[in-house]
């Protein structure tokens, strides 16, 4: 009887995968529109919609540094019709907040979609044209300078806290509920500095509304070849931090459905027009099998737990 039930379950799962998708698929982006995850979900969703002949709807569910959208997906039916497109905060939240889900146990990894470069930026009125000058300014006025981030516990927040630890400075953190507010208030001079993904900050830098002091990647960004990495600048720590973007589905989603979604994402990322569109936005296409994302998540969870403990960061 057990063998018969197992065989029936396998047949049903295979049939579900063959029929998938037979109705609209929802990509939940737990951040505001215009962020890297949003750009990726919309570009990939449009391509999959063409291929599958089914609508792929992008739903923005920002709040709590991605926790609100992620919690909603974790509670969704494990059938592949609701997927999460988070960024690095998916891993950092686990160490900072009491997230209503487990990033490893509540989800099945689908694919590492892309990576992007983080940058430190300041309001142009601030008299700092390099990270060295920003740090010197902060040391001369301890606790007076401020910086914004898209939310407490996100990679932008932790990146600056790591820099503060390494340089012995006091710069006050002002968390926002998304990247757009964090950037706009830096442009408006309400805060002095911010850490942001390259693709989000790029138009503001080109428009002269923000000044980019450094990129936190291992190499200089092709879009800003004159901006040095942090480790290139005299007296700065050898810190490398990139943002990554992945796709996940609720735990228990059939493996064949996960594989079909993975194949669709990889096919979209291999398309030249999509790759070019992403690279123009400062996003580097990744791809690969679910194991690649699973291994990255495990590494990131351990890395940021150490930073949070060392910096004494507390959740909201």
- CA-to-CA separations, 145 to 92, 126, 153, 163, 185, in angstroms, rounded: 24, 10, 20, 14, 14
Structural domain includes residue 30:
yes
Q: What stretch of H or E contains 117?
A: strand 107-122
Q: Both 76 and 37 in a single domain?
A: yes
Domain count, the chain: 2
Q: Both 131 and 191 in a single domain?
A: yes
The residue out of 215, 233, 253 marking a domain boundary is 215
Structural domain includes residue 229:
no
- CA-to-CA separations, 223 to 75, 78, 215, 250, in angstroms, rounded: 39, 39, 11, 36
Mean pLDDT for 141-151 is 94
Q: Both 203 and 292 in a single domain?
A: no
66-75 pLDDT, tens digit per residue, is 999 999 999 9
Structural domain includes residue 247:
yes
Query: In the structure, what pLDDT confidence band is assigned to residue 97 with cuts at 50, 70 and 90?
Result: confident
The residue out of 197, 215, 233 marking a domain boundary is 215
Q: Both 96 and 137 in a single domain?
A: no
Structural domain includes residue 3:
no
- State the chain's mean pLDDT as an integer: 91
Q: Both 186 and 44 in a single domain?
A: no
Question: What pLDDT does 315 receive?
Answer: 66
Q: Both 269 and 185 in a single domain?
A: no
Structural domain includes residue 132:
yes
Q: Both 112 and 122 in a single domain?
A: no
Of the candidates 283, 301, 249, 297, the one whose C-alpha atom is nearest the C-alpha of residue 114 is 283
Question: What pLDDT does 16 receive?
Answer: 57
DSSP string, 195-259: EEEHHHHHHHHHTTSSEEEEE-SSS--TT-TTSPBTTTSTT------EEEEEEEEETT--HHHHH
Q: Both 112 and 247 in a single domain?
A: yes
Structural domain includes residue 221:
no
Residue 107: pLDDT above 50?
yes
Q: Both 134 and 199 in a single domain?
A: yes
Instruction: Report d(CA 36, CA 13) in Å as an integer.
Output: 33
Residue 293: pLDDT above 70?
yes
Question: What pLDDT does 41 receive?
Answer: 97
194-246 pLDDT, tens digit per residue, is 999 888 898 999 999 999 999 999 899 888 999 999 999 988 998 889 889 99
Contact 66, 93 (CB under 8 A): yes
Q: Both 19 and 107 in a single domain?
A: yes
Query: In the structure, what pLDDT confidence band is assigned to residue 280 with cuts at 50, 70 and 90?
Result: confident
Q: Both 193 and 265 in a single domain?
A: no
Structural domain includes residue 56:
yes
Structural domain includes residue 280:
yes
Residue 63: pLDDT above 90?
no
Kindly report the CATH number assigned to the domain that includes residue 129. Answer: 3.40.190.10
Of how many residues is the chain composed? 316
Residue 251: pLDDT above 80?
yes
The proportion of the chain whose per-residue pLDDT surpasses 90, expressed as a percent, equals 71
The residue out of 215, 231, 256 marking a domain boundary is 215
Kindly report the CATH number assigned to the domain that includes residue 260. Answer: 3.40.190.150
Question: What pLDDT does 316 receive?
Answer: 59
Residue 105: give the domain boundaries. Answer: 15-116+243-311
151-207 pLDDT, tens digit per residue, is 888 889 999 999 999 999 999 999 998 888 999 999 999 999 999 988 889 899 999
Residue 282: pLDDT above 80?
no
Q: Both 135 and 210 in a single domain?
A: yes
108-123 pLDDT, tens digit per residue, is 999 999 999 999 999 9
């Amino acid at each position: 009887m057990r063998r018969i039930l197992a065989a029936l379950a396998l047949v049903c799962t295979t049939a579900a995968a063959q029929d998938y998708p037979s109705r609209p698929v929802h990509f939940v982006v737990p951040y505001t529109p215009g962020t890297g995850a949003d750009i990726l979900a919309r570009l990939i969703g449009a391509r999959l919609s063409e291929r599958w002949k089914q609508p792929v709807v992008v739903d923005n569910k920002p709040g709590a540094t991605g926790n609100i959208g992620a919690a909603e997906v974790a509670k969704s039916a494990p059938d592949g019709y609701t997927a999460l497109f988070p960024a690095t905060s998916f891993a950092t939240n686990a160490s900072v907040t009491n997230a209503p889900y487990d990033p490893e146990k509540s989800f099945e990894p689908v694919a590492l979609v892309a990576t992007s470069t983080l940058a430190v930026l300041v309001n142009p009125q601030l008299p700092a044209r390099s990270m060295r000058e920003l740090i010197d300014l902060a040391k001369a006025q301890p606790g007076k300078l401020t910086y914004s981030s898209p939310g407490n516990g996100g990679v932008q927040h932790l990146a600056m806290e790591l820099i503060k630890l390494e340089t012995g400075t006091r710069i006050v953190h002002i968390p926002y509920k998304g990247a757009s507010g964090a950037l706009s208030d830096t442009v408006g001079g309400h805060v002095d500095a911010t850490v942001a993904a390259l693709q989000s900050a790029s138009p503001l830098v080109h428009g002269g509304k923000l000044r980019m002091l450094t990129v936190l990647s291992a190499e200089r960004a092709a879009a800003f070849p004159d901006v040095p990495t942090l480790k290139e600048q005299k007296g700065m720590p050898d810190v490398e931090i990139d943002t990554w973007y992945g796709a996940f589905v609720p735990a228990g989603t059939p493996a064949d459905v996960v594989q079909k979604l993975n194949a669709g994402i990889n096919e979209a990322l291999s398309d030249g027009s999509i790759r070019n569109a992403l690279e123009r936005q400062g996003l580097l296409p990744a791809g690969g099998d679910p194991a690649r994302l699973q291994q990255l998540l495990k590494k990131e969870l351990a890395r940021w737990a150490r930073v949070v403990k060392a910096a004494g960061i507390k959740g909201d």
